[in-house]
Amino acid sequence: MLKLFEHETLDVQNLSEEETAIRVEKLNLQFGQKHVLHNISMRIPKNRITSLIGQSGCGKSTLISCFNRMNDLAPDCRYDGSIFIGGRDINRRKENVSQLRTQVGMVFQRPNPFPMSIYDNVCYGLRLQGIRVRRYLDDAVEQSLKDAALWEEVKDRLFESAHILSGGQQQRLVIARALALKPDILLLDEPTSALDPLTTLFIEELMASLKKRCTIVIVTHNMQQAARVSDYTAFLHQGKLIEYADSDTLFTMPEHKQTEDYITGRYG
């Protein structure tokens, strides 16, 4: 199987603390009466790409939203268990959620650039932190757009509306917007599902190149994509973590019957 970057394979079941970016322990989550995540425990390795796969509605989005507490926005959401990022439990009540979200960036399924200029989009997070120095912002915009492989295409129209960009460009702009905050972790929720194959490939390459700088967790419905880009893959079924291993193992020799059924397409 083609890999863009080769490196030693870790055993995700026995990761050391230094190798762990996110440690989830006994996470349970409910929306009202609906139990969505059941007792999930896992360690997500640093500077690697980990993908979450599973049937629609199994709780993938909900799980990655736990990593930056986006679920807090749903009024009837309750959860327990712990999630350790950078050595502290982010599920604590007094966690500074705004700060956490600058540390853990998120990109959504549909590109959602703000109705502002490209420049202002990238600066949004920095400005929220009170950064107003023009030189610093200019540099940050250039660097983030370069990191997101968008600079060459937009450098002459930074002050035009972000809505003139194509879907793929918009998605890269949204990634640049998240990267501007220099996050440790980047959460991508089906980032390519609205894009054509070529643009998808482009974003996949981008992810591979970002691996050096941050930990990436990606939700995808595309088995090939998961196998292609991710180092590790977790399979979720009805809110339970069924199998979690390095992608080569999971896609070639799955341990569980459910996993095999899903990756060979016997589930929907």
Partner 1 sequence: MIKTRIEAIMNPAQRQSFVISFTAFLSTLLLLALVSVLALIIYRGVAYFWPAPVYSLTFVDDQTEQAKAVYARVFSEFHDQGDAVRLVVYSSSDAPHGTQALIDEDRILTLVESVNSADITLNDGLSVLGVPVQIRASDNVRYSEQAYASVAEKVSSIEQQIEDIRTRWLSAIHQKLSELDVRGVAMDAPAREKLNDAFRQWQNKIIKLEDQRDNYTLKIAMADGTTLSVPVASIEEIVFPGQLGVWGKVGVTFGHIGQFLIQSPKQANTAGGVFPALFGTVMMVFIMTIIVTPFGVLAAVYLNEYAPDNLLTAIIRISVSNMAGVPSIVYGVFGLGFFVYVVGGNIDALFFADTLPAPTLGTPGLFWAAMTMAILTLPVVIVATEEGLRRVPNGLRAGSYALGATKAETILHTVLPMASPGIMTGVILAIARAAGEVAPLMLVGAVKFAPNLPLDTEFPYMHLDRQFMHLGVLIYDGAFHSQTDAEGASMMFATCLLLLLVVLVLNILAVLLRARLRKRYLTN
Ligand X SMILES: Nc1ncnc2c1ncn2[C@@H]1O[C@H](COP(=O)(O)OP(=O)(O)OP(=O)(O)O)[C@@H](O)[C@H]1O
Q: Among ligand X, partner 1, Mg ion, none, what binds residue 106 when CB lies within 5 to 8 Å by partner kind?
A: partner 1
60 binds partner 1 (CB under 8 A): no
Side-chain-side CA neighbours of 6 within 13 Å: the count stands at: 2
Q: Among ligand X, partner 1, Mg ion, none, what binds residue 130 when CB lies within 5 to 8 Å by partner kind?
A: none
Q: Among partner 1, ligand X, Mg ion, none, what binds residue 45 when CB lies within 5 to 8 Å by partner kind?
A: none
36 binds ligand X (CB under 6 A): yes
Find where tokens 């991710």 sit: 230
Q: Provide, rounded to whole angstroms, the least separation between the CB of residue 223 and ligand X.
A: 13
Q: Are 117 and 159 in contact (CB under 8 A)?
A: yes
Q: Provide, rounded to whole angstroms, the least separation between the CB of residue 185 and Mg ion.
A: 18
Q: What residues form DSSP beta bridges with 24? A: 42, 83
- Looking at the Cβ atoms of 61 and 71, the one nearer to Mg ion is 61
Instruction: Give how far the C-alpha of residue 219 lies from the chain's centroid of Cα atoms, to the nearest Å.
Output: 7
Q: Among ligand X, Mg ion, partner 1, none, what binds residue 62 when CB lies within 5 to 8 Å by partner kind?
A: ligand X
Q: What residues form DSSP beta bridges with 261? A: none
Q: How far apart are CA 20 and CA 7, in angstroms?
A: 16
Nearest Cα neighbor of 215 from 4, 5, 22 is 22
Q: Among ligand X, Mg ion, partner 1, none, what binds residue 70 when CB lies within 5 to 8 Å by partner kind?
A: partner 1
Tokens representing 19? 């190798």
Strand boundaries in the chain, DSSP class E: 20-31, 34-45, 49-54, 77-85, 88-89, 104-107, 185-189, 215-219, 232-237, 240-246
Find where tokens 């006994």 sit: 26
Q: Provide, rounded to whole angstroms, the least separation between the CB of residue 51 and ligand X.
A: 13
Question: Which one of residues 10, 24, 44, 59 is an interface residue with ligand X (CB under 6 A)?
Answer: 59
Instruction: Give how far the C-alpha of residue 235 lies from the chain's centroid of Cα atoms, to the nearest Å.
Output: 15
Q: How far apart are CA 228 and CA 247, in angstroms?
A: 9
70 binds partner 1 (CB under 8 A): yes
- Looking at the Cβ atoms of 140 and 207, the one nearer to Mg ion is 207
Residue span binding partner 1 (CB under 8 A) among the ranges 8-16, 110-118, 203-211, 225-233: 110-118
- Pairing state between β 77-85 and 34-45: unpaired
Question: Which one of residues 48, 60, 177, 237 is an interface residue with ligand X (CB under 6 A)?
Answer: 60
Residue span binding ligand X (CB under 6 A) among the ranges 16-24, 52-60, 125-133, 245-253: 52-60
Contacts of 213 (CB under 8 A, 6+ apart): 47, 147, 182
Question: Which one of residues 50, 51, 61, 71 is an interface residue with Mg ion (CB under 5 A)?
Answer: 61
Q: How many chain residues bind Mg ion (CB under 5 A)? A: 1
- Looking at the Cβ atoms of 105 and 239, the one nearer to partner 1 is 105
User: By rule CB under 8 A, what string of x and - marks binding of each residue 111-150 to partner 1?
Assistant: -xxxx--------xx--xx---------------------
Residues that bind Mg ion (CB under 5 A): 61
